[in-house]
Amino acid sequence: MAPDWSMRSLSFLNGSPQHPDLTLWTADSGGWEHTADLSNAMHLQGYRDYDTKSMLRILERLQKLGQDLTFDGVLSDSQPLHLHFEHELNTLNHTPEHIILHTDSNMATLTHPEFDSATEAITVAQAFAPSIKGRTILITGVNRLGIGYTTAEAFASESPRLLILAGRSPAKVQECIDALSQKYPDVEYRLLQVDLSSQESVRNAASTVLSREDVPTIDLVINNAGVMCLPERTLSPDGIEMHLATNHIGHFLLTNLIMPKLIAAAKDKAPGTVRIINVSSVGTCTSPFRASDPNFTKSNAELPDNEKGALAMLKAAGLPAEEDKTYLPMIAYGHSKTCNILHAVGLDKRLYEKYGIVSVALYPGDMRSELIRHTDQEWLAKAMAAREAQGHRIKTLEEGSSTTLVAALDPKLDKPGNGYFVTNCQVGTQPPAPKYAVDEAEADKLWETSEELVGEKFAW
């Protein structure tokens, strides 16, 4: 007889050298109940979205290892389960301490609960067409091989007033503008050259934006550009670790410098209409904000416990995870992606009450884009194959950009905190961001560090 698999919540206490048993707990309306000890059973690592069949295989393994392991309710194909790492750091071995399996039953839904990992950006644009028409939108990291382009394409399909498309390579941005102009000739496009790793370039780009009197307002800023897994520690022209410089500091500086145009746009609009969208990543789970060492001059072993990277997670994924190394590519990338989320927290704190401007962070999903060009290709091929074998969808670029549009347009994300980590076009169908990535005190630390690194304080 098939087991009854559904549950409200299922939490595992991960084993440590001091506590090697993997202990299973279940939770229902009556509270937590110790169910079974699964000694040496499974070491679950990662941050995954599984389809129902893949999750059933995992749960079947768990039942075989457990004693009288049962769950409440009924699981159907229309109610997929998701593996959720709450990612609280264990002070003994610095690995994720809790793992939660949960259904969608109690999750908050957005305007279109039918949107999911297979939804394309143009479908989202059609659904929120009135929120695009006539608006001015700035998007960074626009090239034909990434989600910057498909994000711009979706917006262009619903007649915005102006799309400002930013990128390091003018030729690549112009290629996008030429393609979009052929498809949507009635939309105005402007090229903005900016190298986000260079503060001089960012300041020049911001000056260009502010000088355009025919563009008095900007309604949406999509901080999309990024670099990932540079194999060697590299410093920006300003002496900042390159992931942090490009993925966070450049966006921090650009957004703050052009803020007057967002504030002007917000004056006659409902709160939450003008937004700043930060494209983050599930990589946030690999590292908190390293306030004591943002430039990666110390090894993981030398960091305070609350700043250590999740080396066990890297090891489980087959990635370099040496405790004594000062630089690990995935940790550096994840660090910058945590900063993207904390940046959204900091922006909300400073902008929402006064101006009604909201910032939302998101995880677009896994896809084959130009972002992965620096990642070890042999490891990447194995990782992608493993993800697909587990039932995890590798998205197209059109699917990958859909969550960006939901974050930018869904009216149910009009207040701070509602969408710090939108995934698969929803809030709650994937794990929330780690607690350290939405902590206001950490966001304040990051804000102060960012101001120090750019040599300027911002207040409005």
- 159 dihedral zone (left: phi>0; alpha: psi -120 to 50; beta): left
Q: Measure Cα distances from 245 to 193, 299, 359 in Å.
A: 17, 20, 20
| 280 flagged as catalytic | yes
Calpha distance 392→401 (Å, rounded): 17
Calpha distance 331→154 (Å, rounded): 32
DSSP state of 58: H
Backbone angles phi and psi of 143, in degrees to 5: -150, 160
Helix (H, G, I), strand (E, B) or coil at 35: strand
Helix (H, G, I), strand (E, B) or coil at 33: strand
402 closest CA partner among 365, 359, 371: 365
Instruction: State the residue for tokens 């609350």.
Output: 306
CA angle 410, 435, 290 (to 5 degrees): 110
The residue annotated as part of the active site, out of 11, 280, 336, 401, is 280
Helix (H, G, I), strand (E, B) or coil at 255: helix
Bridge partners of residue 235, in order along the sequence: 241
The 10 Å Cβ neighbour count of residue 237 is: 12
Backbone angles phi and psi of 238, in degrees to 5: -100, 10
Q: Which residues of 335-349 are buried (b: 16+ CB within 10 A; e: fewer)?
A: bbbbbbbbbbbbbbe
Q: Which residues contact 299 (CB under 8 A, 6 or more apart)?
A: 323, 324, 325, 326
Greatest pairwise CA separation for the chain in angstroms: 71
Calpha distance 203→225 (Å, rounded): 16
Looking at this protein, which amino acid is placed at residue 344? A
Q: Answer whether 140's CB lies under 8 Å from 224's CB.
A: yes
Rounded-to-10 torsion of CA 94, 98, 101, 105? -120
Q: Answer whether 113's CB lies under 8 Å from 330's CB.
A: no
Residues known to be catalytic: 280
